[in-house]
Amino acid sequence: MKPLNINDIAKAAGVGKSTVSRVLQGQNHVSPDARARIESTIRELGYQPNMVASGLRKRRIQTIGLIIPDISNPFFPEITLGVQQVADERGYAVLLANSGWSNDREEDLVALAQRQRLDGMIINPVHISLAALRAFGHSVVVIGTRAAYREFDAVGSNTAESVQLALAHLHALGHIHILALPGPRGQDSTRNREAAIYTAMQARPDKLPQIHYCEFTKSGGYDAVAALLSLTPRPTAVLCGNDLIAIGMLAGLRERGITVPGQISVVGIDDIELASVCCPTLTTVHKPKREMGMTAANMLIDRIEGNIQSPPQMKKMSTHLVIRESTAAVGISSG
Amino acid sequence: MKPLNINDIAKAAGVGKSTVSRVLQGQNHVSPDARARIESTIRELGYQPNMVASGLRKRRIQTIGLIIPDISNPFFPEITLGVQQVADERGYAVLLANSGWSNDREEDLVALAQRQRLDGMIINPVHISLAALRAFGHSVVVIGTRAAYREFDAVGSNTAESVQLALAHLHALGHIHILALPGPRGQDSTRNREAAIYTAMQARPDKLPQIHYCEFTKSGGYDAVAALLSLTPRPTAVLCGNDLIAIGMLAGLRERGITVPGQISVVGIDDIELASVCCPTLTTVHKPKREMGMTAANMLIDRIEGNIQSPPQMKKMSTHLVIRESTAAVGISSG
DNA sequence: TTGTATGCGTTATCAG
DNA sequence: CTGATAACGCATACAA
């Protein structure tokens, strides 16, 4: 019924509980003889130390939180996998939570993490306030490159580079009239993409892409087709804020009989698995999602364990273009 | 530095710590006056109770474990979302871990869950032994319909029904020579699918599908194309153990210039999001993944909270066929 | 209704 | 090298 505790082991092994505790923690000031006896009784009895108790005492529960918007968005499982791999290797468990893109839920989750006394937290913030994040009181690593959070460690991909790569590709193909779907209006990651567009277009400000806002989802891209078709002159290419938007757009275009890349080229960002399977396969900018997760976890645990005292740093992972079937030179109206 | 504790609040509010504890737990034996004072000081000071300490005392940490093979397999995020939604509503956090289809890792993770004194666990078992699962010592809900685990609560989809639906569909289209890819050899879920095939074919044992084993992955399906092509007479349809296999197969067939569904029909199982986006879109058997997760979480928490004393039950969620583009009548060789 | 004392299972301090 | 003993922060039986 009640699980074994350290006293049971101590008694069974004929030693004091402190000695048991010592071998449990791998300390060296314990005689080989005692150690052997203790280890064998632990194994025989199948004792599993209570991490809750030790967590209370040590103020460390070997668990970190990971707060993401939505695990069913294919971008995040890869991040998660990277985080878990490193966490696991370094002896931490991962508590996963979805904020559902909601500010209230983000703040609730951080408060929960605080009550749970998690050792640290990795968060892909959507709206959460700095105050709420600070209140957590432990180490935090942010996923993303938003300036607002620069007081925390962060890891993100190079948005400027991504957008630059995508636009350069379209330009090289001769596209002048481009529609950009940077994301939902009023979200920081949307603004980041917009800023990147402006930067990339500094040389030819007259050719700035049209901007249309939509959710980071398939249906967001699907619905954007209407906006696309209402523009004159009609854009010959679409730069999508992420692959899901792009895939929704592909579906919408196909339904209307518009060929890709014949009549319109589509490029995404993220390079999720879907991108290599959809039809046509999607030209997109690859983000090293798994590495981002691993890096975030390493940064966080380094902080937790005090290996780093330096000021917060931001790691921008570089991206690269993956050319597939959804883009072609303008005017090649194979459709 | 050190977070506030219940004593700080008691002192600041001019009451005993037990009274604070009472309002924290929403007990009613406390004067409105004291309650008001305590609540306001809690809010003012931003106190967050330490769940580690209360967990140690109450032997409940309001956290459940979820062990799945691989979160990057699109089947599992949906399950996860269902689990998290219910867990959240009922006041539990979810600790997520990937077993990576490895037996050792499964057992390690269960042992970890035990050390962490999780209140319960939902697991999609791959190889783990009953002994290891029993050793956990708390409530367990299994995802899947494997007979070996019937001593635990379980929720799964009706495999017999899924396979039956898929085969009936192919038969209705006139397919006689069918290749089945039930999964990797020696895994229980593979055996389940095989058994379902035999059951479904009881009426015409002479027309039993050929069986070929492969991993539950895209590359598993991709590689299986070679096996398919080596058969004589060549099958006109393939029943895949899951959608990933099917999608890999689609890719492999396309590479070899074999048209789907013109020359070969392909049907999957799961109905992951990819299935509606790949090319051609995939006919498949829909599983209510989200509901499965929700059901599992509800069953688990009911057990944890003692709402259920009945013997372990198995809930089989029913499935339905989703007909898309990858299947057609035999002989319609549009390719 | 409220406060006091004790224990939850570990770890850390400190003599021995 | 080892074993008592006191925290860790909270919940609860019991007393007031």
Report the Cα A200 to chain-centroid distance in Å. Answer: 25
Which two tokens mark A57?
A: 């005492």
Q: Please report, for chain A, how many H helices and E strands are present, in that order.
A: 12, 12
Measured distance CA(A237)–CA(A180) in Å, rounded: 9
In the numeric block, the tokens 């962060």 are attached to A154
* pLDDT tens sequence across B188-223: 889 999 999 999 999 888 889 999 999 999 999 999
* pLDDT tens sequence across B87-127: 999 999 999 999 999 999 999 999 999 999 999 999 999 99
What are the structural domains of chain A? 6-49 (1.10.260.40), 58-157+288-317 (3.40.50.2300), 159-286 (3.40.50.2300)
Which two tokens mark B222?
A: 């991709």
Backbone dihedral region for residue B135 (phi beyond 0: left; psi -120 to 50: alpha; all else: beta): alpha
* pLDDT tens sequence across A193-216: 999 999 999 988 888 999 999 999
Report the Cα B193 to chain-centroid distance in Å. Answer: 17
Residue B325 neighbours by CB under 8 Å, 6+ apart = B261, B280, B281, B282, B283
pTM > 0.95: no
Given a contact cutoff of 8 angstroms between Cβ atoms, the answer to whether A328 and A265 are in contact is yes
Q: What is the pLDDT at residue A334?
A: 43
Whether the predicted pLDDT of B334 surpasses 60: no
* pLDDT tens sequence across B225-248: 999 999 999 999 999 999 999 999
| A274 touches B at CB < 8 Å | yes
| B28 touches A at CB < 8 Å | no
Averaged pLDDT score across all residues of chain A: 94
* pLDDT tens sequence across B146-185: 889 999 999 999 999 999 999 999 999 999 999 999 999 9
Q: How confident is the model at residue B308 (pLDDT cuts 50, 70, 90)?
A: confident
| B52 touches A at CB < 8 Å | yes
| A72 touches B at CB < 8 Å | yes
Most distant CA pair in chain A, distance: 86
- Using a CB-CB cut-off of 8 Å, the residues of chain B touching A63 are 95, 116
Please, what is the angle between helix B6-13 and helix B32-45, to 10°?
A: 120
* pLDDT tens sequence across B5-41: 999 999 999 999 999 999 999 888 899 999 999 999 9
Is the CB of B277 less than 8 angstroms away from the CB of A251?
Answer: yes
Is the CB of B71 less than 8 angstroms away from the CB of A81?
Answer: yes
In the 46-75 segment of chain A, residues within 7 Å (Cβ) of strand D are 53, 56-57, 59
**What mean pLDDT do residues A277-302 have?**
96
Measured distance CA(A98)–CA(B290) in Å, rounded: 14
ω into A261 cis (within 30 of 0): yes
Measured distance CA(A153)–CA(A144) in Å, rounded: 10
At B173, the amino acid letter reads L
Is the CB of B111 less than 8 angstroms away from the CB of A48?
Answer: yes
Residue A79 neighbours by CB under 8 Å, 6+ apart = A68, A124, A143, A289, A290, A292, A293, A296
